[in-house]
Amino acid sequence: MTAVTGDDEALTTPDLALRRARELHERDGTCAMLGITLLDAGPGRADVAMQLSDTMVNGHGTAHGGFLFLLADAAFAFACNTHGPVTVAQSAQVTFLRPARPGDDLRAEARERARSGRTGVYDVTVRRPADGTVVAEFRGQSCTLRQRDT
């Protein structure tokens, strides 16, 4: 009856979750284009990293918020697909807390917060590991499209 819980979940071992995230990352043209690396993943979680390039700026000279969102969204996508079924972002919200700048190494850490039926809620923190500051806080709502096929 439920779309994503039950027996499938019992099969989402840490190894399987990491394998699923890696496969999705390998097929992700955006991650290849922007140099987003997958650092780690487990059931309902994923960590990614990206270095802000000189061109990723807005007209004010700071990092374009769109790339901060995109990095968080990438972590979110890997985290919510670790369970197996094809899962997509339905909506997301982001709060920008501090400006980031070209050259900054950023990390986004996605963690599952809740799931019910086909809906999941994930929190993603975007931080600059060099000094530990939080750059942005993201929350995404996922929707499972169909049962997993692996």
Q: Which residues bind its own copies (CB under 8 A)?
A: 1, 3, 23-30, 32-33, 54-61, 64-67, 69-71, 73-74, 77, 81, 86, 88-98, 113-114, 116, 119, 121, 123, 125, 132-134, 137, 139, 141
Choose between 17 and 74: whose C-beta lies nearer to its own copies: 74
- At a CB cut-off of 8 Å and minimum separation 6, what does 7 contact? none
Instruction: Give least dist CB 94 to its own copies, A.
Output: 6
Which residue type sits at 25? H
CB 25 within 8 A of CB 78: yes
Instruction: Give least dist CB 37 to its own copies, A.
Output: 14
Task: Tell me whether residue 4 is exposed, middle or buried, using C-beta atoms within 10 angstroms of its C-beta: 0 to 12, 13 to 18, 19 or more.
Answer: buried
SS3 assignment, position 22: helix
Choose between 15 and 131: whose C-beta lies nearer to its own copies: 131
Choose between 43 and 65: whose C-beta lies nearer to its own copies: 65
Instruction: Give least dist CB 83 to its own copies, A.
Output: 14
Q: To which residue do tokens 């499972």 refer?
A: 144
Helices (H), 14-102: 14-26, 29-34, 65-80
CB 73 within 8 A of CB 136: no
Choose between 14 and 66: whose C-beta lies nearer to its own copies: 66
Choose between 43 and 102: whose C-beta lies nearer to its own copies: 102
Instruction: Give least dist CB 15 to its own copies, A.
Output: 19
How many CA atoms, within 13 angstroms, populate the side-chain half-sphere of residue 6? 9
Instruction: Give least dist CB 113 to its own copies, A.
Output: 6
